[in-house]
Amino acid sequence: MKNALTIDLEDWYHICGSGEHTDPARWGDYESRVVRNTDIILDMLAGSRSKATFFVLGYIAAQNPSLIEKISQEGHELAVHGYYHRRVYEMTAKEFDDDLRKSIDVVEDITGVKVYGFRAPEWSIRSRTAWALDIMKKQGLSYDSSTVPLTGMGERGFKRFPHTIDTAYGPLREFPLTTFKCLWENLPYTGGLPLRIAPYWLVLEGIKRLNRAGQPAMVYLHPWEFDDAQPKIELPLARRFMHYFNTGTTRPKFEGLLRHLEFSSIKDVLRI
């Protein structure tokens, strides 16, 4: 079974709620490391012949059009992650509409290829922001990958597996964060900090078990997770742990997953 491989294409300083680093007016002052780190991922994908979906920030695309062209030319899907990495529930519907349109336009102008999907920064779709799903469909998108069936980060009542949502403008496919059931809670394990913490055998067996049950998993990574030398931002303890802990395990675990599993883009896995 093909599983979905996704990359949130953002730089080391794109952290929601991190004070001055959230201000786009300051971003030009910071060293950009996104091209170098993304090239590491692209080389690994080329070696495994796997394809992925890159959820790219519109800002990154505008600053690095040649990187976006390269990703597209190597056969990967380009989807969007917003323009300025703002959480959906921090925006009005009008602000989200404008931000989404701007991000779609910059990516499509570079590649000449239609954008089909969106992922909200920090998985920030909630029941109270369901209006965002209507806007996605209105703007011509076919799928979203922003919901988390988890208390706190998302909502425990969200569905765990790919499904269709009826919006005011027609059906929209949803591919939620992959989790496993643990007592009354759902726990993530296929990306970010959970992937960096979990033993590799547990991650691999969890995905294989999901595949045997007829469901695809979704792995998600960030280019900065491959960069132990990235500048460090002063963050609250819990957030610092979430962002920086165990990044040295990202590459070997990713290499293992590419060897042992089959991956493709969300568009391919959902057959859009």
Task: State the DSSP H helix or E strand holding residue 163, giving kind and residue range, or none if neither.
Answer: strand 163-167
Cβ–Cβ < 8 Å for 138, 169: yes
Q: What is the CATH number of the domain that holds 181?
A: 3.20.20.370
Residues paired with residue 173 on neighbouring β-strands, in sequence order? 143, 164
CA distance 121 to 72: 22
What is the reported pLDDT for 256? 97
How does pLDDT run across 234-250, given as a tens digit for each residue? 888 887 888 889 999 99
Cβ–Cβ < 8 Å for 13, 19: no
Task: State the DSSP H helix or E strand holding residue 9, giving kind and residue range, or none if neither.
Answer: strand 2-9
How does pLDDT run across 122-133, given as a tens digit for each residue? 999 999 999 999
**99 Cβ neighbours under 8 A, 6+ residues apart:** 58, 82, 83, 84, 86, 91
Please report, to the nearest 10 degrees, the dihedral formed by the alpha carbons of residues 220, 223, 229, 231 taken in order.
-100
* Tokens coding 137: 């469909």
Cβ–Cβ < 8 Å for 146, 136: no
Query: How many C-beta atoms lie closer than 10 Å to residue 128's C-beta?
Result: 10
Measure Cα distances from 78 to 8, 50, 107, 135 in Å.
10, 15, 8, 19
**Number of folded domains in the chain?**
1
- Helix ranges, the chain (H): 34-48, 58-63, 65-73, 93-111, 131-138, 192-197, 200-212, 237-244, 250-260, 266-269
What is the reported pLDDT for 155? 85
CA distance 181 to 254: 23
Of residues 51, 270, 52, the one with CA closest to residue 143: 270
Residue stretches of the chain with pLDDT short of 50: none
What is the reported pLDDT for 19? 65
**pTM for the full predicted model:** 0.95
**Coil, strand or helix at 33:** coil
Q: Which residue has the tokens 């404008």?
A: 98
Query: How many C-beta atoms lie closer than 10 Å to residue 257's C-beta?
Result: 23
The parent domain of residue 80 ranges over 2-269
CA distance 74 to 253: 23
What is the reported pLDDT for 187? 87
